[in-house]
């Protein structure tokens, strides 16, 4: 594969795990709560994800991923974004398609016409959004603080501040601190901030939200894309550096 391909695949693999985690966290921010897949609540919006990762003895890695997100009446979602590489003004296009009813997530790399596929748990799509149940996180010693309701743009968002412990790389517990705001009536996430100890911070925001049905073509993979395996984190670390 050409060097551009290595850069794209390694960046996409990281961005995919980051954005997929953000997307799942926005829908199901705490353990013990089923990810919401809601029927007949389509929308489109601008999305912005920024993240900072800190590893021991290494400089911070800053990622910025602006783009657009759509959801159709069947509960499928697609995110189109530009991955801005750390320490560079360079960016590359990437798309992700989440299909909860089918249990699939796909990553599309338009610049090299490749698709990477990943299985996920199938999720039953509900006819209406449901309010979160925090009983599981409270059983695990976590804390949940309601932040009230705010009008954010044209949406009425309900906010929560949540803290709980998660295992770190070294096996030790790390404090996860999260604040998220979501429109409970439309099942649309509005914004989220998440911190994992001192090693990771992420911010995700939706703006310019419109309650419209996206075209069916948004979820169609071009016929000339070929499938490739998504690299593991170890494989990504072994990819050649950009010159």
Q: Is residue 155 part of a domain?
A: yes
Q: Is residue 216 part of a domain?
A: yes
Q: Is residue 242 part of a domain?
A: no
| pLDDT of 29 strictly over 70 | no
Q: Is residue 243 part of a domain?
A: no
Confidence tier at 232 by pLDDT (50, 70, 90): low
Quote the number of domains for the chain.
Answer: 1
Domain CATH number, residue 135: 2.50.20
Q: Is residue 43 part of a domain?
A: yes
**Nearest partner of 189 among 38, 18, 15, judged by Cα:** 38
**Nearest partner of 96 among 239, 221, 228, judged by Cα:** 221
Say how far residue 239 (Cα) sits from the centre of its chain: 24
What pLDDT is attached to residue 124? 82
Q: Is residue 148 part of a domain?
A: yes
Please tell me the distance from the alpha carbon of residue 141 to that of residue 163, in angstroms, as a whole number. Answer: 9
Task: Give SS3 for 219.
Answer: helix
Q: Is residue 38 part of a domain?
A: yes
Query: What's the domain range around 53?
Result: 3-237
Q: pLDDT digit string (tens) for 99-125?
A: 988 888 898 988 889 898 888 878 888
Q: pTM (2 decimals)?
A: 0.78
**Residue 191 structure tokens:** 């914004």
Please tell me the distance from the alpha carbon of residue 51 to that of residue 18, in angstroms, as a whole number. Answer: 9
Strands 143-152 and 61-71: unpaired
Looking at 65-69, 126-130, 222-226, which range is the least confident one?
126-130
């Amino acid at each position: 594969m050409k060097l551009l391909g290595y850069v794209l695949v390694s960046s996409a693999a990281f961005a995919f795990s980051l954005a997929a985690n953000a997307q799942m966290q926005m829908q199901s921010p705490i353990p013990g709560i089923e990810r919401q897949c809601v029927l007949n609540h389509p929308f489109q919006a601008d999305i912005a994800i920024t993240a900072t990762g800190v590893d021991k003895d290494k400089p911070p890695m800053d990622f910025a991923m602006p783009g657009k997100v759509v959801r159709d009446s069947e509960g499928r979602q697609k995110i189109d974004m530009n991955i801005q590489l750390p320490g560079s003004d360079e960016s590359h296009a990437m798309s992700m398609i989440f299909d909860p009813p089918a249990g699939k997530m796909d990553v599309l790399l338009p610049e090299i016409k490749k698709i990477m596929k990943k299985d996920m748990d199938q999720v039953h799509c509900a006819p209406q959004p449901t309010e979160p149940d925090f009983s599981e996180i409270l059983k695990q010693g976590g804390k949940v603080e309601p932040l009230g309701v705010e009008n954010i743009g044209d949406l009425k968002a309900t906010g929560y501040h949540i803290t709980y412990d998660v295992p770190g790389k070294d096996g030790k517990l790390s404090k996860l601190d999260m604040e998220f705001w979501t429109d409970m009536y439309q099942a649309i996430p509005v914004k989220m901030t998440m911190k994992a100890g001192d090693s990771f911070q992420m911010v995700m925001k939706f703006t310019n939200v419109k309650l419209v049905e996206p075209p069916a073509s948004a979820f169609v993979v071009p016929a000339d894309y070929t499938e490739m395996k998504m690299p593991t984190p170890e494989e990504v670390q072994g990819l050649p550096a950009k010159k």
